[in-house]
Amino acid sequence: MRNKSGNALLLAVGIAIGLSLGLTHGVLADKPAAGADLPWQDARMLAAVLERVKHDYVNPVDDHQLLQAAIRGMVASLDPYSAYLDGDEYDEVKISSSGRYFGVGIELSIEDEQVVVIAPFDGSPAAQAGIRSGDIIVTIDGIPVNNNTLADTIGRMRGAEGTSVKIGIMREGNQEPMVFTLKRSRVDLHSVKGEMLEPGYAYLRISQFSETTGDDLNATIKDLRKHNGAPLKGLVLDLRDNPGGVLEAAVAVADAFLDSGVIVTAKGRTPDSKFEMDATPGDVLNGAPIVVLVNGGSASAAEIVAGALKDQHRAKVMGRTTFGKGSVQTIIPLSDDRAVKLTTSLYYTPSGVSINHRGIAPDIELERDSKTPVTPATEGAPLQQRDSEVKRALEELKVSPSARPGAVTTAARA
């Protein structure tokens, strides 16, 4: 005889599937009924497995943990990019997308089983308090940090705006920990950095795409132009190891350099997943040549930018074939501050090509394949002397003609 726990699990799973079928009845009404009982058979199997795990597994587990794991596994089995997000994971996605959060403003890493400060963000509470690169975080509010994962440390330093946190730090040359009391505030993450390589020629690095990237790019270009004292003659746009991010941010970046034409199209099953995004008039560089640096770590939104500028003949792409993530994920909020990240579209470059699992081949291929393509140089030397690929891109800029009006292509649509 099935025990009460098994009956409860079967009832919970059965109700969930029944509700799902009921909610989708209007969409599925015109489909044949063959196999309609299959979900119930699967529900019975799921309940049976859950019951055996609860009864026979070496350690006790509760129903909630098992069902959460079942949901997570179900979504993860769809593709590498779909995922079920719990509260903490959903918060991280929102921070990455928005480019802002409330905390103390420190970039961290784990080195030799120690939580080490890479750098405090400019203007952040950590920077204002005097925390330095290389400091080792040992305690937060008097409690030792977890040296095996950054998630716990980061989570404890974040919190409501205006609240305080005490951070214990060991610094080279000090025998005792230093304790800093920091007041949490809004921290803005800027994904765009730029510098002049030499008069007339600029370098711009985008590390990821967040909601602020488009505005950050325009502000950085404006600063570079002001520093140059004249319009720019060319730009190296560095998208190497950029994992992607917000689709709209990629469109904004591509649009900044294009006067017209298709940037990206997408196709999916729902009306919202089918769209075309086009450039608007105005080119922040007024046609000055662009070289886009990419490698195998350039993915998703970075590939949208590289693909649009390449297909519209606005830039030369240099480096190595990109990652090949040609799908779009949508964050679908659920109850209890949870969400599902679900692949909803495949996107296509302006020429109508899907780069999914294929990537974008560069116009100019570079043989070297290093995460840090750096050549030995004196400390403080110009970037082009420290980075051989930036040097090669700069050389290409100097022989590239300005973009010609009317050189854009039209999208091939099916």
CATH code for the domain of 128: 2.30.42.10
300 is catalytic: yes
Whether 64 and 134 map to the same domain: the answer is no
What does the pLDDT look like over 231-254, one tens digit per residue? 999 999 999 989 898 999 999 999
DSSP of 313-370, one letter per residue? TS-EEEES------EEEEEEE-STT-EEEEEEEEEE-TTS---TTT----SEE-----
Helices 63-76 and 38-56: angle between axes, nearest 10 degrees: 130
Residue 12 predicted with pLDDT over 70: no
Residue 326 predicted with pLDDT over 70: yes
Whether 320 and 374 map to the same domain: the answer is yes
Whether 240 and 384 map to the same domain: the answer is yes
CA dist 368 to 25, 207, 291, 336, 384, Å?
55, 21, 17, 48, 16
Question: Can you tell me the distance from the alpha carbon of 208 to that of 256, in angstroms, rounded to the nearest whole number?
Answer: 16
Region 73-98: mean pLDDT is 88
The verdict on residue 284 lying in a domain is yes
Q: What percent of the chain has pLDDT over 90?
A: 57
Region 97-103: mean pLDDT is 81
Whether 11 and 63 map to the same domain: the answer is yes
Whether 289 and 395 map to the same domain: the answer is yes
Whether 167 and 203 map to the same domain: the answer is no
Question: What is the per-residue pLDDT for 378?
Answer: 52
The verdict on residue 377 lying in a domain is yes
Residue 9 predicted with pLDDT over 60: no
**Closest-CA residue to 387 (of 253, 240, 220):** 240
Could you identify the residue written with the tokens 């002397």? 385
Catalytic residue among 316, 325, 341, 391: 325
Residue 80 predicted with pLDDT over 80: yes
CB atoms within 10 A of CB 84: 21
Catalytic residue among 233, 311, 341, 387: 311
Whether 180 and 213 map to the same domain: the answer is no
Whether 65 and 122 map to the same domain: the answer is no
Question: Can you tell me the distance from the alpha carbon of 356 to that of 48, in angstroms, rounded to the nearest whole number?
Answer: 38
Whether 235 and 178 map to the same domain: the answer is no
Tokens representing 321?
Answer: 């074939």
What does the pLDDT look like over 131-154, one tens digit per residue? 988 899 999 999 999 887 777 888
The verdict on residue 239 lying in a domain is yes
Considering 188, 219, 237, which residue would you say is the last residue of a domain? 188
Region 261-265: mean pLDDT is 97
Question: Can you tell me the distance from the alpha carbon of 72 to that of 64, in angstroms, rounded to the nearest whole number?
Answer: 12
More confident position, 121 or 161? 161
The total number of structural domains that make up the chain? 3
Whether 155 and 242 map to the same domain: the answer is no
**Closest-CA residue to 113 (of 89, 144, 72, 77):** 144
The verdict on residue 280 lying in a domain is yes
Whether 180 and 236 map to the same domain: the answer is no
The domain in which residue 351 lies consists of: 192-399
The verdict on residue 110 lying in a domain is yes
* 3-class secondary-structure state, position 238: strand
With 0-12 CB in 10 A as exposed, 13-18 as middle and 19+ as buried, what is 368?
A: exposed
Whether 198 and 181 map to the same domain: the answer is no
Question: What is the per-residue pLDDT for 24?
Answer: 39
Residues in the chain, total: 414
First to last CA, the chain: 57
Considering 135, 154, 188, which residue would you say is the last residue of a domain? 188
Tokens representing 29?
Answer: 């009404």
Question: What is the per-residue pLDDT for 38?
Answer: 58
The verdict on residue 92 lying in a domain is no
Here the CATH number for the domain that contains residue 224 is 3.90.226.10
Q: What percent of the chain has pLDDT over 70?
A: 85
325 is catalytic: yes
The verdict on residue 91 lying in a domain is no
The verdict on residue 408 lying in a domain is no
Region 83-111: mean pLDDT is 84
402 is catalytic: no
The residue type of 81 is: Y
Considering 147, 168, 188, which residue would you say is the last residue of a domain? 188
